[in-house]
Structure 1
């Protein structure tokens, strides 16, 4: 990508950054962040420097990645730079491709083998399971936010919309879920172990280092008592625009992968919204086209309702096996409580039957990223504006029922 480097961006004039990194080129730009490819001067490691212009997005992404550090299928946060009068800059591992590009290349070539699909799925499930075991809901899972390295390892990225769920009635989970640990008995067939050269932040001490030549006041907070990102599960249970405690915003994610409860405007939801997105991603791996490519929220809901009966989903997954259709059906459930968890799916018989998942070294990785899906960029940067069509109808009253939820326009 041959993008001229702007001369006035703060990232180019901040001494603590340019003393440690050479900024090579801009690789992405969105409403809330700009991303640059860079080189760490100390060891020539290629990294991504993500300049986040939104305080809340930066806060969420940093804290989520610190909690998930060491998870093999989550992007590595090496360190971050942040002062009160400047944007946050996150230094992330650089992964040159994503699952959207894998799907795009497969359309032009010979498609994806079942073994390849299974390996991509297992890696996605491992990343989502790591999040959910730590009570983190990503809220924007889609192929463009699933980055892929040269070695075939897939990693969840773009946690700017993530939330760390508190222990309240919205989540049915253990009070203190254990941190994610790969199954050491069968890591190749279940979860990928950390790859050589991909150090996590805790291993190398990259997070929140104090730059040389700067006073403590000018650098970042590096004591656990002062660092706002060192405390886990610290979010208040409200978001901007919501007055009722425990309410989240429904204006998150990308429409094609957004669960029906979010489309209806529900503010009482949990980890299940990620599971719906997983079902949409898995269906796209099978067919190489989006499962619900809605042009508006109303059209999106119409497409979802059309496949509620068993034959409807089968028609969307032509020439796929009964087990493959059943796998998607376990996730694309109108009732959030009926969706299978990532941990449950990792033990599904589908992944233990022939053909088995191929080794990551056999996965075909595109040389570069292709075009992104729908109207939202992905991967390194996010665009968090609402595209909800229901805004014009005014407030919504969403009520939980035995079958899921109901909606009433005020």
Structure 2
């Protein structure tokens, strides 16, 4: 027998499955923010029997993702099996990914449909998407996106980010692999590193794939803001034009060098962490082969170049918010 947990922040069709025997061991205490509905379920509802696993879609540090089909409804889903064991239900509900996705409900944020815990193993069941943005770029090879296509992808990502930031979370791991696409509809996924805006620093220093990591994170700042997501947006926007990363650093130091080579040296009067860069790289005596963003992206419009330049600002305070970016002239070009 299972309990079905319906979150108050999701549609009436979204449920989280919680084993009844587990709840009985914990005094049957309801989870705050949700309502439990008890129903009898036979053995066919065991996760490995209720779903037929079709193929592995990816393998990460925290879990493996599989494409699966629900044998009752024939719905195709993505099942994320966490690698660590979970011995208490409270552990599951305290995961950042669970907290974030319970609160966030938006057309451009991936839907968490169910959570199931069996034999101390935790499974997330998500809606299934066809591709990620990285795969699409690889498949298209030398066929670049039109600016209209790029504008559509970026608008959808920024709408999802706006909802996320307004509801108190920033993602911290935006990259093409975590932007899922089906029929040109884009959704932000993988909230394993998501953090509440209101949470107190110090924050985790190592977040996001290096190429999309904001300078303040590279410099191990103990406090940062949703502006780290906006830097990643700028790097992704540039990559959609170039089909190659804007700052492809091979190490943290090389990453900073690549950024300096495009943006120039930071001004320590407006970006205090610049002193750390000077200390690490001795950039006060270094001449960088300056390469303008416009030269790197010859097929990008002046409006696109301006937006990338604003998003990839050394100073986090100068980067536009998601809503401000959506109001940029780049999105008004016909």
Query: With structure 2 as the length reference, what TM-score do the two structures score?
Result: 0.73
Q: Distance in 1 between matches of 2:95 and 2:333?
A: 42
Candidates 54, 58, 69, aligned match of 1:28: 58
Q: Does 1:147 align with 2:180?
A: yes
Once the 2 structures are TM-superposed, how far is the Cα of residue 156 of structure 1 from its aligned partner?
0.4
Once the 2 structures are TM-superposed, how far is the Cα of residue 159 of structure 1 from its aligned partner?
0.5
Candidates 97, 101, 126, aligned match of 2:135: 101
The residue aligned with 1:334 is: 314
Q: Say which SS state the counterpart of residue 132 (structure 1) adopts.
A: helix
Q: Distance in 2 between matches of 1:97 and 1:318?
A: 27
Once the 2 structures are TM-superposed, how far is the Cα of residue 314 of structure 1 from its aligned partner?
2.6
Q: Distance in 2 between matches of 1:343 and 1:326?
A: 16
Name stretches of at least 5 consecutive residues in structure 2 with no aligned partner.
1-42, 265-289
The residue aligned with 2:211 is: 256
Could you list the per-position Cα deviations for residues 203-228 of structure 1 after superposition, in whole angstroms to 9, with x for gaps in the alignment?
Answer: xxxxxxxxxxxxxxxxxxxxxxxxxx
Q: Distance in 1 between matches of 2:82 and 2:220?
A: 27
Q: Distance in 1 between matches of 2:82 and 2:48?
A: 17
Q: Does 1:43 align with 2:66?
A: no
Contact 1:106–1:288 at 8 Å: present in 2 too? no
Q: Does 1:72 align with 2:110?
A: no
The alignment of Structure 1 onto Structure 2 pairs a total of residues equal to: 261
Once the 2 structures are TM-superposed, how far is the Cα of residue 323 of structure 1 from its aligned partner?
1.2
Once the 2 structures are TM-superposed, how far is the Cα of residue 102 of structure 1 from its aligned partner?
2.0
Q: Say which SS state the counterpart of residue 351 (structure 1) adopts.
A: helix
Q: Does 1:312 align with 2:292?
A: yes
Q: Does 1:285 align with 2:240?
A: yes
Contact 2:104–2:164 at 8 Å: present in 1 too? yes
Q: Say which SS state the counterpart of residue 307 (structure 1) adopts.
A: helix
Once the 2 structures are TM-superposed, how far is the Cα of residue 317 of structure 1 from its aligned partner?
2.2
Alignment of 1:196-345 (within 5 A): 237=200, 246-309=201-264, 312-345=292-325
Q: Distance in 2 between matches of 1:351 and 1:50?
A: 35
Once the 2 structures are TM-superposed, how far is the Cα of residue 269 of structure 1 from its aligned partner?
0.4
Could you list the per-position Cα deviations for residues 249-289 of structure 1 after superposition, in whole angstroms to 9, with x for gaps in the alignment?
Answer: 11011000000111111120010110000000000011111
The residue aligned with 2:196 is: 164
Could you list the per-position Cα deviations for residues 318-371 of structure 1 after superposition, in whole angstroms to 9, with x for gaps in the alignment?
Answer: 3432211101011000011110011111122221222xxxxxxxxxxxxxxxxx
Once the 2 structures are TM-superposed, how far is the Cα of residue 308 of structure 1 from its aligned partner?
1.9
The residue aligned with 1:82 is: 117
The residue aligned with 2:161 is: 128
Task: Report which stretch shifted further, 316-325 or 333-342.
Answer: 316-325
Name stretches of at least 5 consecutive residues in structure 1 with no aligned partner.
1-12, 167-235, 238-245, 355-410
The residue aligned with 1:117 is: 150
Contact 2:110–2:126 at 8 Å: present in 1 too? yes
Q: Distance in 1 between matches of 2:175 and 2:208?
A: 9
Once the 2 structures are TM-superposed, how far is the Cα of residue 14 of structure 1 from its aligned partner?
10
Query: With structure 1 as the length reference, what TM-score do the two structures score?
Result: 0.60
Which of structures 1 and 2 has the larger relative contact order (alpha carbons within 8 angstroms, sep 6+)? 1
Contact 2:241–2:299 at 8 Å: present in 1 too? no
The residue aligned with 1:230 is: none
Could you list the per-position Cα deviations for residues 60-87 of structure 1 after superposition, in whole angstroms to 9, with x for gaps in the alignment?
Answer: 1111111112x0001111110136x613
Contact 2:144–2:241 at 8 Å: present in 1 too? no
Q: Distance in 1 between matches of 2:67 and 2:136?
A: 21
Q: Say which SS state the counterpart of residue 48 (structure 1) adopts.
A: strand
More strand as a share of residues:
2
Once the 2 structures are TM-superposed, how far is the Cα of residue 145 of structure 1 from its aligned partner?
0.5
Change (3 A) 1:28 1:14: farther
